[in-house]
A and B are shown apart, each in its own frame.
Chain A
Amino acid sequence: MKTSTQRPVHLNLLKIRLPIGGIMSIIHRITGVAMFVAIPVLIYLLDLSLRDVASYQAAGEMVRSPLGVILLFGLMWGISHHLLAGIRYLLIDVHMGVEKETARKTALLVTVVAPVIGALLLWGLL
């Protein structure tokens, strides 16, 4: 019998081979951490944009700069993936889409659709 100390409490990232559900899940996690990092940047931009006309324009120029557009796409992709995967988790909480086949399909759907929605949102915003 295994003792409690033999349980895999911590995850060795190099030993994990992920199915689609796992890939969707790790992107959910990475986008979550990335958006945590983005929080101060977004608040900086909000603060700057609300101060006066000049700083409002400066904030707009930052967002429309090449780096700004790349990061904005990343944010829109991230928010789309995190939101869609989150809705999928909420549905699984209420026992919807739990079956293996369905769960794999929805995981693939989330992973594929998120960057498309991200690109559409970026296009709409610019």
Chain B
Amino acid sequence: MSRKASGLKAWVIQRVTAIYIAVFSIYLVGALITDAPINYAEWKGWFAGSVMSVATLLFVLSVLMHAWVGVRDVLIDYVWNTSQRVIALSVVATILIACALWATQALVLARLV
């Protein structure tokens, strides 16, 4: 993210991803409460559906970006030492990217296997 626009960009990213996360979370929890898949085949079939699969991948990407902006704000507030902050931000970024790849792998495998 360029230094010049990082504030406004982060602000916009946080709001756009928030709206998608809110809509998908409400759908997900609502579906799990009202019409939950009752066995493995139904559960896997749900996530292997093409719309659900892409919608979930988009959710994973949104959460990754939203968490990055949020955790970055927290670290900027509380980690005062520059090198410690750089290390902390690097660890967070690595964890988030690894998680996104992990979730993508699980969701793609559910469609293939």
Contact = CB atoms under 8 A, between A and B. Distances in A.
Interface of A: 10-11, 29, 32-33, 35-36, 39-40, 43, 46-47, 49-50, 52-53, 56-57, 76, 79, 83, 86-87, 90, 93, 121, 124-125
Contact of B106 (A36, A50, A76): A50
B44 A50 contact: yes
B109 interface: yes
A83 B106 CA distance: 26
B99 A40 contact: yes
Given A32-B67, A32-B74, A33-B74, 13 more contacts: A33-B70, A36-B71, A40-B95, A43-B102, A46-B106, A47-B106, A50-B44, A50-B107, A53-B40, A56-B40, A56-B44, A83-B22, A83-B25
Interface in B12-66: 15, 18-19, 22, 25, 29, 32-33, 40, 43-44, 47, 63
A36 B67 contact: yes
Interface of B: 15, 18-19, 22, 25, 29, 32-33, 40, 43-44, 47, 63, 67, 70-71, 74, 77-78, 80, 92, 95-96, 99, 102-103, 105-107, 109-110
A46 to B, nearest CB: 6
A125 B22 contact: no
B33 A124 contact: yes
A43 B106 CA distance: 8
Contacts of B25: 79, 83
Contacts of B33: 121, 124-125
B71 A33 contact: yes
Given A29-B74, A83-B25, A90-B15, A50 B43 contact: yes
